[in-house]
Structure 1
Amino acid sequence: MGERFERHKQAWTSEEVQKLHTLAKKGMALRAIARALTRSEESVKARARADGLSIAALR
């Protein structure tokens, strides 16, 4: 199956948020961003939605 992340309910650091914004603006897919940040796809999606970012769909 998929990878399991051991970080549960960890607060987002300002560095992670900045990286999320950068990767989202570059047009990276949700799964790729989640792996780059070592966070779950759900966590990345929720944070992006809270910050008003749009994440590219898989191509």
Structure 2
Amino acid sequence: MKERFERHRQPWTGEELAKLKLLAGKGMALTAISKALIRSEESIKDRAKLDGIGIAKLR
């Protein structure tokens, strides 16, 4: 059985915040940002809302 690394409720680092701002600024989708940061979509949405960062909504 393969072990999976869980990042449950880990604090955000300055590097992750900078990357979130950069990727959101480029207009990347929430799913792509989630994969790049190895965090859940909910975690990213919550942090973006807290910091006032707009995430692109794809239709």
TM, length-normalised to structure 2: 0.88
Q: Do the aligned residues in 2 keep the contact of 1:7 with 1:39 (CA within 8 Å)?
A: yes
Q: Which runs of 5+ in 2 are unaligned?
A: none
Partner residue in 2 for 1:7: 7
Partner residue in 2 for 1:44: 44
Deviations 1:1-23 (A, max 9, x none): xxx86110000000000000000
Q: Which runs of 5+ in 1 are unaligned?
A: none
Percent sequence identity over aligned pairs: 66
- Structure 1 segments, 4+ long, off by >4 Å, are none
Structure showing greater Rg: 2
Partner residue in 1 for 2:23: 23
Q: Number of aligned pairs?
A: 56
SS at match of 2:43: helix
Distance 2:33 2:16 in 1: 11
Over the aligned positions, Cα root-mean-square deviation in angstroms equals: 1.5
